[in-house]
Structure 1
Amino acid sequence: MKKLLLTTALLSASSAFASEDIADKYPGSMLYDKPVEFIPGVFTATGATAPPTYENAGHNNNLSFIVTGEGVVVINGGAAYGLAKALHDEIKQITDQPVKLVFNENGQGHAVLGNSYWAEQGVPIVAHEDAAHEIEEYGGSILEGMKRYNRDQAEGTEIQLPTETFADEYIVEMGDFRIEARYLGPAHSPGDIVVWLPKQSLVIAGDMAFHERMLPIFAHTMTADWIETWETAFEPLAATYVIPGHGHPTNMDQVRRYTRDYLVYLRDQIGAHLEAGGDLAEAYYVDQSPYKSLDTFEELATKNAGRVYEQMEFE
């Protein structure tokens, strides 16, 4: 019966689409939406499936936490000092256990700019060494970009590097949970990690996996490497439950559809375009209609096609 209830909850969550049309689902907080307990002890505040804006306060990724019985582990620092504080306020309403550790899923602003709040609380912050390098190298410009859209909501935010880094894995035994932060290989951005809970068969996937919105392909996103990492290291986890970097918690079938399958599809489209002698200008408009229902399609589809063309032209 417990398994059935969890599966029903999972399916309900995966069908409750976030939307670019909803500016803020939780007006009483800087958070875009209130944290929800996905499976016992594991909570996530699902971000907007839209670009960062003043209305969503930059909360357009998932901010998760694990109530272990001996303390709380937070996954993602958040996009601003105030956003991290808002998440902490929600945690305090759920448990009196202290936050003992924060993981940054990568070096992007929505994962790390709230680090300054957590450091102020004396909480250790852990990230992959490549993510730490990104923060050190580009943190200033990331912060300035956030200030432009977040304005007064950026107050208190400063660049705070992780206090600990790792190369391959960082394992924590705390309360009822074994928590394995793993670097599986190149994916969406430098230093992408997943947080794997083997006892619960749940993975907090970070930007390894997307759901409900189109993934962005950056200049440094090597799509062939991402597919390889997915197939050789992420898929073999065989997770029952997945909290993606973006979009509601769901299962492996859904995130595969909108992440790995999308990357393979777009590369196939661009590959056929290259074989036909097509140029970059035409590549922007290869058919991506199977994914047009995804949020951020209009913002990202043509950019993604252009970047994949530039990659594959020299592969």
Structure 2
Amino acid sequence: MKAAVESSGPAAVTVETVTSDKGTTDFVRILVQGKSGKSRGGSAPTLGVIGRLGGLGARPTRVGFTSDGDGAAVAVSTALKLSAMASAGDVLDGDVIIATHICPDAPTRPHKPVEFMDSPVDINVMNQHEVTDEMDAILSIDTTKGNRLVNVSGFAITPAILDGYVLRVPDDLVDIMEVSTGKPCVTFPITNQDITPYGNGVYHVNSIVQPATAAKVPVVGVAITTESAVPGSATGASHEIDVAEASRFTIEVAKAFGKHDARFVDQDEVDTLRNLYGSLAHLYQSAEQ
């Protein structure tokens, strides 16, 4: 994978292997520089793209690419396309940092309504490797097929999360989604429970907005969805068109965000909420704190 991205264009790729008592995974971080990006000394904002998952394989229990791996597939395909674009002269204004992890033999665990993929590492380790201070906003992409809330083939976007607040769905991202898919925007409902850390004993739809617990910038989830409830550990359940749609949306957001044309939050609204009610970042605290 590292060689494929590097051969596609001028992208900087780092890979770090992390091991626990549940297995091993490779954390991948890819920087595609913008012409006015901060990595070049410019001031254009940096978009973070996180492919969130437990594992893209569940060997030896399951043979093949799991449905849960779509988050990584979107992240890597986005990196490949942006790198190829830059090589051809289509350089974005801002930097884009893509992060995910690659694990072909992750464990599974029970979850309702469908079985979850587990991971060799916990959420805190993922956030440490995937959320960086350079990111000014984050798209967190996660397979979200095992639910009974959004039953459409394609993807949906969540409200923006910042400072413990579940804010409105960004208008600019709604516009980009409708243009890039040619269909009405689909949104995914999340709750306060979903923005609290894993392991606190409350239900989470999945880990799609868990990067918000480690980020000080807005996070929007990109949920890859299906019409029926599909287990994350299922194989043969990935749909190339859905992956392509989510990747195309991500690329269009990256184009606009680097030009200040895609706002994730209304800063005046955020400031008003903070003045009225203070920070809700205490929701990010783990059960042990």
> Could you state the TM-score of these two structures normalised by the residue count of structure 1?
0.28
* Greater C-alpha Rg: 1
Q: Which fold has the larger relative contact order, with Cα–Cα distance below 8 Å and residues 6 or more apart in sequence?
A: 2
Greater helix share, structure number: 1
> Could you state the TM-score of these two structures normalised by the residue count of structure 2?
0.30
